[in-house]
Chain A
Amino acid sequence: MAKVAKPSAESAATGTSRRWAMVVDLDRCTGCQACVVACHAENNIPIVGEEQAGYGRWMHWIIIQRYWEGEYPNVKARFMPVMCQQCTQAPCEPVCPVFATYHSPEGLNAQIYNRCIGTRYCGNACPYKVRTFNWFRPEFPEPLPEQLNPDVSVRSRGIIEKCTFCVQRIRRAELDAAATGLTLADGEIQPACVQTCPPSALFFGDLNDPDSRVSQLARSHRSFRLLEDLGTGPAVIYLKGGETNV
């Protein structure tokens, strides 16, 4: 069952009691990597090149982990998209000496880039290994800087970064809704990965709204969360894949 966070004093002040959450349906996921490239494009994520990628210094905010089960010929490959789990009790938050990691009223683990001094404590504390570090100054040979999304800052060397649930899209939708006086409809906000996912394996919405699509899916008998016993309370809910036997 979805753990419903109580609205904090802060969230009451900002007039919001949302808990943004994502549902990953592993039965639909095909492992196609469309979300990975969409995330790079939306969030100005640097490319590190062959050598650094070989050292494991790639900077994807979302990765498709691939697990093998069994041996040839009865071998299975399972795909698991993993991005920041936006934990309710986030292990990355208390370890930051400069308060660069921060828990937003809407439950997001935010990273304040210009506070970050690059201790990488948060990256070490994260049990999901979803935080990436800028070992080098990102390079965008001309005219590739034209591709950069003006809504997202370009991080410099020495900074930790990670998935934000495309907070810039959330903010824009909220501001537009506030300006027009309309309420946000469920599914109106789509992070880049959710928007592009060809088999519609990803869903995004407010877990505090019991009628939202993510709340409905979170109540599925197939739902589970990664490393649930750590008590981190992830806001990413996975739905188990299946197998049809004939």
Chain B
Amino acid sequence: MAHRVSRRGFLKIAAGASVVAGLSPTVRRVALEPFVRPPEEELPGRATWYASTCRQCPAGCGVIVRVINGRARKIEGNPSHPLNRGKLCARGQAGLQVLYNPDRLQNAVRQTGGRGSRRFEPVQWAEATDQLASALKGVGGKARVGFLGGSVPTHLRLLVTRFLEALGSPGPVLFDLHSVLEGGAEAHALADRWFGSADKPIYDIGHAEVIFSFGANFLETWLSPVSQSYDYGTMRQGQSGGRGFLVQFEPRLSMTAASADQWIPVPPGTEGLVALGLGRIIVEENLGRVGSHREHAQLYRDVSVGAVAEASGLSVDRLQKLARAFADADRSVALPGGYLSGFTNASQSMDAVMALNVIMRRLGREGGVFLPHTIPAEAFINPDLPSPFRDFEKLIQKMRDGQVDVLMVHGANPVYELPRWAGFADALTNVPLVVSFSPFINETAAQADLILPDHTYLEGWGFEVCSPGGDRPVVSSQQPAVRPLYDTRSTADVLLKLASSLGGAVSQALPWPDEVAYLEEASAQLLGSSIGVFDARTPAGFWSRWRQLGGWWSTKPIRQEPVARGLPQGPLQVPAASFAGQPNLFPFTLLPYESIALSDGRGADQHWLQETPDPMTTACWNTWVELNPATAAQLGVTDDDIVRVVSTHNALEAPVVVFPGIRPDVVAIPTGQGHQDYGRFAAGRGSNVMDLIAPVVEREAAVLAWGGTRVRVEAVHRSTKLARLESLDGKGRETLR
């Protein structure tokens, strides 16, 4: 018979038991072990910030990444970084979409259906690197290895150079559309000609009173746009002496020109000539407060102001006014911009602009021209500059002739970025092994046999020697803000692995066990520098500060005064630029310009950037053709009508944007769209303006004259709806009271 416990009785027993249990001396505390362990620094709900470097363009701005529960959530500018001073541009802000892009490669792959088949099969990392190592061992001569880089971070560039040197192969060829459009190679050549410097000149925009910008879109994509925009803000409202005077010489009203006080639409390719005319007036009339111009008279001996006026369409009177404005200011500076590099007279045009700074004695003066101070450590001496087009052509020629057995590609996408006549895609078929390190399947990676995806920049290590570095020497360090999302591998680590498996001279030249060991050793070279913003007693301490602050820079601004090695021999001249296409058949000059959002096309896979309106046209998600209202009326087309733009080499169709800020004889098309690959947001959208470019190459410096293509425009009597921010009802001329 069961003993029944009454409710009252049960409660008595329970109360007693709990008292006994409460008195028990042996309560064990056991921590619960979750299956997934969060990173140690993480507190749920609290953000951790990591300093690193933006890699959306080569400028090297410092970023801090907000990480919550091990995931990167927001990117901000690093407030202590001397280059961007806490600021970031649209592209920098969109960096999360590189990391979290839905179309990233998640592991190493081999293309199994032949090149261009886009049938990829996962491959083990060990197997893939072994394949590459044995290919490098088996090449019939060390010169038969090629490395093509785009905007490669400085540390990787240095490693690659060492690797190829030890291998006995020619150095890397660095070529990408962004540096072509900003005139990277030309800016280096200019600094070399005038000052014997390997570094690009720095223009002190923040302290200038008068800025004459010759095709320099310094608020958009040229050199270091965030740093320059910051300085522009200072020039406008931060100085005590007034709001500055900015004049922009270029055929299209770019965003920078829209911020200028005067936009002067001179014919394409005559910008340098205008600079020459202004210099002649300054010297002839002995303008400015710099003493005698007698020594400069020789420079301008052959310049006729009348001829300049005729070629540029500016009156002599206007030229004189401009010359006086430039010469009368205490702090004036002339910028030789990227647009000048797009013509056959590139070097002479840029010389003519730089001459203005020289005759006004603006070298090494506040608001003038400077050279960067070198980083005081050998590990950061950066020998590799963007290669001139000539070097790239040579590589293509070698590939075509079957003299390249292995081609490695990192950060470059020439199949997309170059017109077909350059022959890169065709030459690629003669290379037995093509290896890409791209984290995405872009047009060039689609032609590779093997893709060994690098980490994206928020997952990887590195550093960038900022050039230009603003007002002081800057090395911006890069560290992972998050663990790699996928089974990708740092290209530097792949190279080090290759080096150790190749053995011999190569493994001696690259003795580091991994990328981090190399970076640690490099950073330690700055230990004990007297100018650094921080120092430490041990290399380990230094390395930790280096990562914490996001790099190394000097406490105070340090710049070098450029010394003109002697003015150019003989008088300055700017020959007329050559153009491809007969003016009667092809009446317009094509102006390809770099999109502020998509850059040279590398931003097209980020939909934040795709939906960002272009500042001038407010259009997005597509390619468009900008026509002067008079030109559009003459062709009988208006907004959203599709036109066919035909060059001597190719044609494309795109909708019209009637654009009041462009010369009637010029047609402008932005870069960035027209991808065949590169993920769901980029592929099959718009057209690629670079397809239209005709082969005009400046003989002397072998620069691709991308501005020298003439086109005709045909109406095709169809229209589309171009997505844009503004309504077409008011044509942007409504007024807000």
B-contacting residues of A (Cβ < 8 Å)? 25, 27-28, 30-34, 36-38, 40-42, 47-51, 53-54, 56, 58, 60, 63-73, 75-80, 141-144, 146-150, 192, 195-201, 226-229, 242-246
Contact = CB atoms under 8 A, between A and B. Distances in A.
A50 B621 contact: yes
B77 interface: yes
7 contacts: A42-B74, A50-B621, A50-B685, A54-B721, A72-B628, A72-B661, A199-B233
Contacts of B259: 30-31
A27 to B, nearest CB: 5
Contacts of A228: 737
A166 B245 CA distance: 35
Interface in B409-428: none
A196 B243 CA distance: 22
A70 B731 CA distance: 12
B114 to A, nearest CB: 29
A49 to B, nearest CB: 8
Interface of B: 45, 68-69, 71-77, 84, 86-94, 96-97, 99-102, 210, 219-220, 225-226, 229-230, 232-233, 236-237, 242-246, 253, 255-256, 258-259, 261, 263, 265, 321, 325, 485, 596-597, 607-613, 615-616, 618, 620-622, 628-630, 660-664, 680, 685, 721-727, 731-737
B608 A41 contact: yes
A64 B721 CA distance: 21
Given A33-B90, A141-B102, A201 B74 contact: no
Contacts of A33: 90, 596-597, 612-613, 615
B575 to A, nearest CB: 26
B607 A28 contact: no
B657 to A, nearest CB: 12
A58 B661 CA distance: 25
Nearest to B61: A198
B735 to A, nearest CB: 7
Contacts of B87: 34, 196-198, 200
A172 to B, nearest CB: 9
A146 B245 contact: no
A242 B100 CA distance: 42
B219 A30 contact: yes
Contacts of A60: 611, 613, 725
A32 B596 contact: yes
B608 A37 contact: yes
B75 A41 contact: yes
Contact of B97 (A27, A64, A147, A199): A147
A245 B245 CA distance: 8
A65 B732 CA distance: 8
A67 B219 contact: no
A227 B96 CA distance: 37
A244 B90 contact: no
A243 B213 CA distance: 17
Contacts of B261: 243-246
A146 B723 contact: no
A75 B661 contact: yes
Given A30-B259, A80-B736, A198-B230, A53 B723 contact: yes
A147 B242 contact: no
B232 A199 contact: yes
Nearest to B244: A244
Given A33-B90, A198-B87, 7 more contacts: A32-B219, A33-B613, A34-B92, A67-B733, A73-B663, A199-B230, A244-B242
Contact of B68 (A41, A150, A198, A229): A150
A246 B97 contact: no
A245 B69 CA distance: 54
Contact of B89 (A32, A73, A76): A32
A207 to B, nearest CB: 20
Contacts of B225: 32, 198
Given A67-B733, A199-B232, A27 B237 contact: yes
Nearest to A82: B736
Query: Which 9 A-B residue pairings sit nearest by Cβ, starting from the closest?
Result: A199-B233, A198-B229, A50-B621, A54-B723, A53-B723, A31-B615, A77-B258, A246-B325, A37-B93
Contacts of B71: 146
B231 to A, nearest CB: 8
Contacts of B258: 30-31, 76-79
A198 B709 CA distance: 34
B233 A198 contact: yes
A221 to B, nearest CB: 13
Nearest to B485: A143
A92 B220 CA distance: 36
A41 B620 CA distance: 18
Contact of A34 (B72, B90, B253, B630): B90
B733 A68 contact: yes
Nearest to B680: A141
Contacts of B94: 37, 41
Nearest to B84: A198
A196 B88 contact: yes
B453 to A, nearest CB: 15
A225 B89 CA distance: 26
A1 to B, nearest CB: 19
Nearest to B725: A63
Contact of A31 (B93, B245, B255, B664): B255
A77 B102 contact: no
B265 A73 contact: yes
From B87, B662, B663, residue with most partner A Cβ within 10 Å: B87
B608 A71 contact: no
Contacts of A64: 613, 615
Nearest to A64: B615
B76 A195 contact: yes
A43 to B, nearest CB: 10
Contacts of B609: 37
Contacts of A68: 660, 731-733
A148 B73 contact: yes
Contacts of A197: 87
